[in-house]
Chain A
Amino acid sequence: MSIASDALVQPLISLLKDFTQDWDHSFEGTMTRSTRLFADLGFESIDIIQLAVAIQEEVVKRRVAFDKLLMKDGRYVDDLSIGQIADFLAE
């Protein structure tokens, strides 16, 4: 949990607010580093892929090897927290 990672949390939260605002069951609480995409925000697998595209274009402005974050042993990870994404991007 580096400073670089902490600095990414707010931009990610802003992006996620935009990203989920039209969804039927929007997240009621306050998003933090520990907010999970699937369990808390109602993500489905297509959404993390689309989010990855959005992060590349709007947050980090570069291509990222997201498969290493999204996949484990050829399958999707069970869930991801905002902090895990920030840590990954800060590496």
Chain B
Amino acid sequence: MAYAEVRGTRLAWQQIGSGPDLIFLHGVAANRAFWFPMAMPFAAHFRVTLFDLRGHGYSDRAPSGYASADLGRDLLALMDALEIGQAVAVGHSYGGGAALEAAALAPHRFLRLVLADVRVQRLQPEMRLSDLEARSGFEQALVDRAGGAEALSEETQIGFRFLEASARLKVSGAAPGGSDEFIPFGEGSGALRAARSWLALLDETEARREFPQAGATAEQLRGVDMPVLLLYGERSRCWPSATALAQLLPHRQTRSVPGGGHFFPISQPAFTLAALQEFLGVRVSP
């Protein structure tokens, strides 16, 4: 099996295709299956690397090291282990945060960066229920179960809270009710083991405490000087991060995914594929 020893833990990775290096990073509570369908067509032009973040998928659940800056160091160390000198990195959500941190630490190692709906803790430290303009039916069902909006009014990391609530429901076997374009752990017959794994990460490691830790400073982010695509869902709650990044990154372009929410790579795959192709300057057949 393809595993790499990286900074004291073991990461599961795989590569497909040949050419310049293109690395995909998934967000928290997901795994490399998140990007697999989108990544495959690019194997005709790139050597595509997919891997599971520490504590996710088939990678080991390390006791700590889950701040975005830590995961950024994991990415750089994995690149060392796989002898990838420079790469294009595409990261969704927290995985994009990791890619951004890696790029801030070692800008010369990234040819291009795609940040897909990334919330940057440094620039957008809180996300409260009251910040959400509209809740999906699924989110409303989670709020109702938590005892209503009042019970969640002090929560500063509502996105993580929703992911945890979704996993606990999945493991308990209860049907959450409500609908959404993408329901975490809701794929097919359900990702029950992924839900259990996410809860174990929150309950048994430092991840819960480390996830909200800020990484690179605004000054360091100004040094991320490669072309960056800020790709955000039209209905995303992460726009404050995109707006702040747009003011810091010297070579960035911003695109909104029409109708897209946070999980637009899954819900709007055609638009996402087209945006990636354009930014990477290739034509692929899905």
Asked if B174 is at the interface (CB within 8 A of a chain A CB), the reply is no
A50/B40 in contact, CB under 8 A: no
Q: How far is the CA of A4 from the CA of B43 in the complex (A)?
A: 28
**Chain B residues positioned under 8 Å from A67 (CB to CB):** 16, 36-37, 40, 43
B32 touches A23 (CB 8 A): no
Question: How far does the Cβ of A52 sit from chain B's closest Cβ, in whole Å?
Answer: 8
Q: How far is the CB of A57 from chain B (nearest CB, A)?
A: 7
Contact B31 A46 (CB under 8 A): yes
In the complex, the answer to whether A74 meets B269 with C-beta atoms within 8 Å is yes
Is B286 on the interface with A (CB-CB < 8 A)?
yes
Interface: B158 (CB within 8 A): no
- CB-defined contacts of A90 to chain B, threshold 8 Å: none
Q: How many residues of A contact B (CB 8 A)?
A: 22
Inter-chain contact B37/A71, CB cutoff 8 Å: yes
Closest to B52 in A: A46
**Residues in B whose Cβ lies below 8 Å from that of A46:** 31-33, 52, 57-58, 191, 194
Q: A25's closest neighbor in chain B, by CB?
A: B192
Residues in chain A near residue B38, CB distance under 8 A:
74
CA distance A57 to B3 in the complex (A): 13
Q: Which A34-58 residues sit within 8 Å CB-CB of chain B?
A: 38-39, 42, 44-46, 49-50, 53-54, 57
A24 — nearest CB in chain B belongs to which residue?
B193
Report Cα–Cα, A79/B14, bound state, in Å.
Answer: 22
Contact with A along B39-64 (1 / 0, CB 8 A): 01001000000101000011000000
Answer whether residue A76 sits at the interface, using C-beta atoms and an 8 A cutoff. yes
A23, A38, A75: the one contacting B193 at CB < 8 Å is A23
B185-220 CB mask vs A (1 if < 8 Å, else 0) is: 001110111101000000000000000000000000
Judge if B175 is at the interface, Cβ distance under 8 Å.
Answer: no
Interface assignment of B12: CB less than 8 Å from any CB of chain A: yes
Residues of B in contact with A, size category: 20 to 34
A78 within 8 A of partner (CB): yes
The smallest C-beta distance from A51 to any residue of chain B, in angstroms, reads: 11
Tell me which residues across on chain B come within 8 A of A63, comparing CB atoms: 16
Selected contact of B1 from candidates A53, A70, A74, CB within 8 Å: A53
Across the interface, name the chain B residue whose C-beta is closest to A44.
B191
Question: Whole-angstrom distance from the CB of A72 to the nearest CB of chain B?
Answer: 10
The answer to whether A49 touches B37 (Cβ under 8 A) is no
Chain A residues whose C-beta falls within 8 Å of the C-beta of B12 in the assembled complex: 50
Q: Is the CB of B40 within 8 A of A49?
A: no
A49–B32 CB distance below 8 A: yes
* Contacting pair A44 B37 (CB below 8 A): no
Chain B interface (Cβ within 8 Å of chain A)? 1-2, 12, 14, 16, 31-33, 36-38, 40, 43, 50, 52, 57-58, 187-189, 191-194, 196, 269-270, 273, 286
Pairs A-B, 4 closest by C-beta atoms: A45-B33, A67-B40, A46-B33, A46-B31
- Which A residues form the contact surface with B (CB < 8 A)? 23-24, 38-39, 42, 44-46, 49-50, 53-54, 57, 63, 67, 70-71, 74-76, 78-79
